[in-house]
Structures are given as structure tokens and as C-alpha cells.
Amino acid sequence: MPMLGKSASVPTVHDSITGQDPAAVQSSEVPLAQSDEQGSSDIRDQEYDNEQVVESDSQAYASSPNLVCTSTPNHSDLEATSAHSEHETSDASLEDNVAGESPLQHQHIQPNQEVAQDVDIEPRKKARSAANTHAMITRRKNGIYVCLGSFKNYRLHSESDEDDKNLVSKQTVVKGVLLQQTLQAAVAVLLFAVAGGDGGASAHQSSSFLVLVRQFGTAMVVLDTWQYFLHRYMHENKFLYRHVHSLHHRLVVPYAFGALYNHPVEGLLGDTIGGALSFLLSGMSPRTSIFFFSFATMKTVDDHCGLVLPGNPFHLFFKNNSAYHDIHHQLYGTKYNYSQPFFVVWDRILGTYMPYSLEKRKEGGFEARPRKELKDD
């Protein structure tokens, strides 16, 4: 970079007359005028040189807009930093560079003054904002869909419906489910302690397949009966629905890990007491009950998964499935399809059964729609 100005000092009127007597001063008006004219010429030359420095720096910066240069007349080092050198560069450092005074804002350049150009950081802010938005959308996706794909062609609702229609966040659902499972596990431990382990079951009963089938069947009927009448009563009792059961119906679009999201009181009355009755009345051992309750939990999760997968064994053997229960979670179906988690017998007997049909959506997937004749009623 060229040096600023000339090394010669600027002559002044005072310097031109220093050391002369008044008479000499009065007799030297013409030389004095010539001296002033020479001084003005030197000043203009220095200003021109400074302007050439500014123009040279501006052209150099324009050819490399990513560099912020600083220089002084007394140093020969040229420091350059790339605006895109590191991803972790903070906005504060960029603002410090932007805050530097531009040489184009002044008519004269003083010695030791930094020469800096404004750096346009708007494109970087837009890129960072777009990256943050993409990361937020990715985090909001259901974990199972991220791992295994979106199952778009088998969904009962679109992924966007989960965020638009549901009245509770997935983080809140996870916290509620963990709390619910902790309470039920504590109650189950107490129940098994009272039952006294496997002492009530003989070795022959434990190894008999027919006995296990009978115990499973009895437990399924007991649990279904208890769940139906309790579930229906919570819908018909306005106080219980508003303060207890409505928590579960905040999931208008059900998904798998929201199956057991409900009020602790409902979990205690429905799952814990219902499970205890099915365990005691069936006569199964605690060891057998582990398999039964695991099976019942898997069935409940499948009923809320929002998927109609081909070859799903739960759909092959049970009419009470994800599409059947999805009708109940919609506004038009809250007074129908109370049965869960296995059969639809009580809905058929007591007139709360809503028939439906699965229809393909244009954008992919299925939609469970109630039959036209019932919808008209």
C-alpha cells in the first residue's frame, strides 16, 4: 500500500517570516505571496495523495470483499481476516468490524487511523436462521419416524396434523407418560408383594398351555369390561371428563408414545385397578401376568400409533385397532367406540359402535371415515 503524503513539512506564513525584522517583512510581500501559494500547492498535493490511497484501498477491498484490512503509515504489515474463515465466528466480532470508521466518510485521512470497510452480514444471518429452522423441524419429528421413515403411505393423519391439531406438545406427553409408568410400577410391586410370588400357582398350572389360554382369555374379558364402562362414564360425567379424561383427548391425532398419556387419576382407576382385577380374577401367576400386561401394553400402543400397516397381526385378529380407536379421538366420534383394548363387543351390545371405512388420501396414506348412514344421523 502506498505511503500517505510527502515527508516534507507544510510551510506556513509564520515560517516564511520568522527571523526577519518588520521592515524586511513589509518589503517582501511578493516573496511572501509566492511562499503562501507554494504552501497551498503542497497541501493540495498531500490531499491528492491521500485520496489516491483511499481509492487504492477501496479498489483492493472491492476485488476481495471478504477481507477487512487495517494499515497505518508507520507499519508495513497488512492484516487480513476472512469473514467466512471459521463457523464459530461470533456476531459480536462482526459488529466490531462493522463499527470501524470507513475512510470514505472523511475528506482527510489522519495518521494512524484504521481503514475498515463495512461487512455485509445479512446473508450470513439468513443462512443461520434457515439452519436453525431446519434443526427445529427435525427435532419436532417423532423419533420412530426419523429412525424408520415416515410411513407416509400407511398413516391415518399427516405428520403436520400432529403439530397443528394436537393441543399438547410431545415433550409434555413424554413427561406425563414417564410419571404415569413410575406410579403404576410402584403399585404393581406392592400388588405382587401381597400376592406372595408364585406360591398360589402349581407347577402343573404353570406348564399347562390350556390353563394359560384360559387365564389370558379371562383377563382380557375382565380388562375390556372394566375399561369400557369406566371409559364411557368418564365421557358422560362432565366433571370427570373436564378435569380428568380430557387430558388424554388433547391428542386429536394419536401417536404411539401418547397411548398412555392420561391423568394420574385415570391411570390409577383404569390401568392399575383394571389390571389388578384382571390379574386376580383370572388366577394367573405374577410371572404369567408379566406376559399378559406386556401384550396388553403393546396392543394399546398399536391402537394409538396412527398407522395401518399391512400384515399387522393386531389388525388381523382384532377389529379394535388403530383405525377403530382413531374414530373415537375425532370430534364426531367421542361418544362412540369406547371399547379398548381388545374387543368391540360392548360397543355393539350397547349401541356405541361406529362403523367406518378406510379410504386412501391423494397425498398418501389412509383416512378412517364413518359410514355415511351413521354420519347423517
Q: For 21-33, what is each residue's pLDDT tens digit?
A: 444 444 444 444 4
pLDDT greater than 60 at residue 183: yes
- One-letter amino acid at 189 equals V
Instruction: Please give the backbone phi and psi of residue 289, each rounded to the nearest 5 degrees, phi first.
Output: -65, -25
- Residue 262 near residue 245, CB atoms below 8 Å: yes
Instruction: Tell which wins on pLDDT, 99 or 42.
Output: 42
Q: Where are the domains of the chain?
A: 13-119, 143-376
Q: Is residue 132 exposed (0-12), middle (13-18) or buried (19+ Cβ within 10 Å)?
A: exposed
H or E element in which residue 47 lies: helix 29-63
Q: How confident is the model at residue 131 (pLDDT cuts 50, 70, 90)?
A: low
Torsions phi, psi of 169, nearest 5? -80, 160
281-295 per-position pLDDT tens digit? 999 998 899 999 999
pLDDT tier for residue 188 given thresholds of 50, 70 and 90: confident
Among 66, 71, 67, smallest CA distance to 54 is for: 71
With a cut of 50, say whether residue 4 has pLDDT above it: no
Q: What per-residue string of b and e applies to 95-117 under the rule 16 or more CB within 10 Å gives b? A: eebeebeebeeeeebeeebebbb
- Greatest mean pLDDT range, 4-13, 191-200, 330-339: 330-339
Q: Does 198 have pLDDT greater than 70?
A: no
CB of 116 within 8 A of CB of 97?
Answer: yes
Distance, first Cα to last Cα, the chain = 88
The more confident residue out of 140 and 104 is 140
* Mode of pairing for the β-strands spanning 366-370 and 356-360: antiparallel
Please tell me the pTM assigned to this model: 0.59
116 vs 309: which has the higher pLDDT? 309
How confident is the model at residue 38, as a pLDDT? 52
In angstroms, the CA 249 to CA 264 distance is 14
